[in-house]
């Protein structure tokens, strides 16, 4: 039997055979079954891991990935941020806002002025009394009769109507109802009549002093729109050396 034939037979019976060449001769060594048994592989930790079903793990991982939200971004994607100019206007330069403020302030000022005028008129009406008796010579006089209708009307700067008079606005309105047209100016009205001496003055004559005009009511009395805070009323003549002017 040749050495190769014996090697095959040993393999058939579960023996392990070692073949080595030394000095041109073939050396063959065989190990019994006991040795072969000792060399049998043992079930280690690695062997247990090898028994895990990798296909099952792969399937679970794929299901988890498919159920998870995925955001896909192209590798060459670029982030673009749009920039726009922001315009800021201060309140002082905001014309619309300033117009609203001006309108509001004007309305508040008008309301305050109206309230102040009403209060002044009420106070004047409470304190105003006929400080003198109207002379008998003025009774029936057409000018004094018309002027008396407006007793209690408040003094209003620039006023020339029954809603409010200043001094020349009052005389202009009264004489106007008798057909005598006068300018709304205390310094100009005397030029529209004839100056008469104080001794010849009659009720209904215009009475003038620099900066003020009134209507002479006879004796030491006059009727006028005196000054802010007062109302049209009969008063003692307070001017020194007034000028009397006969109108018409």
Q: Give the Cα separation of 83 and 126 in Å (integer).
A: 71
Q: Give the Cα separation of 224 and 238 in Å (integer).
A: 12
Pick from 200, 199, 232, 203: nearest CA to 136: 203
Q: Give the Cα separation of 22 and 26 in Å (integer).
A: 7
Q: Give the Cα separation of 121 and 114 in Å (integer).
A: 10
Pick from 201, 169, 161, 209: nearest CA to 185: 169
Which helix (H) or strand (E) segment is 236 a member of?
strand 233-236
The single-letter DSSP state of residue 126 is H
Q: What are the pLDDT digits (tens) for 125-143?
A: 444 444 566 666 666 689 9
Given a contact cutoff of 8 angstroms between Cβ atoms, the answer to whether 1 and 12 are in contact is no
Over 90: is that where the pLDDT of 194 sits? yes
Instruction: Tell me how far apart the terminal alpha carbons of the chain are, to the nearest angstrom.
Output: 178
Highest mean pLDDT among 20-24, 85-89, 112-116, 199-203: 199-203
With cut-offs at 50, 70 and 90, classify the pLDDT of residue 107: confident
């Amino acid at each position: 039997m040749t050495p190769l034939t014996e090697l095959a037979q040993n393999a058939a019976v579960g023996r392990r055979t070692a073949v080595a060449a030394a000095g041109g001769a073939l050396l063959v060594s065989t190990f019994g079954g006991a040795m072969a048994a000792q060399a049998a592989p043992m079930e280690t930790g690695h062997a247990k891991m090898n028994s895990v079903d990798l296909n099952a793990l792969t399937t679970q991982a794929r299901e988890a990935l498919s159920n998870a939200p995925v955001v896909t971004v192209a590798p060459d994607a670029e982030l673009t941020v749009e920039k726009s100019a922001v315009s800021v206007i201060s309140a002082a330069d905001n014309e619309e806002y300033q117009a609203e403020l001006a309108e509001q302030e004007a309305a508040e000022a008008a309301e305050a002025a109206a309230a102040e005028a009403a209060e002044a008129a009420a106070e004047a009406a409470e304190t105003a009394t006929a400080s003198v008796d109207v002379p008998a010579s003025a009774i029936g006089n057409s000018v004094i009769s018309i002027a008396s209708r407006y007793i209690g009307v408040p003094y209003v700067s620039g006023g020339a109507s029954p809603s409010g008079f200043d001094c020349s606005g009052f005389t202009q309105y009264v004489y106007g109802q008798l057909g005598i047209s006068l300018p709304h100016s205390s310094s100009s009205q005397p030029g529209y009549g004839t100056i008469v001496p104080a001794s010849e003055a009659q009720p209904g004559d215009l009475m003038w002093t620099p900066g003020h005009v009134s209507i002479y009511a006879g004796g030491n009395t006059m009727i006028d729109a005196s000054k802010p805070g007062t109302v049209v009323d009969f008063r003692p003549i307070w001017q020194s050396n007034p000028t009397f002017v006969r109108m018409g």
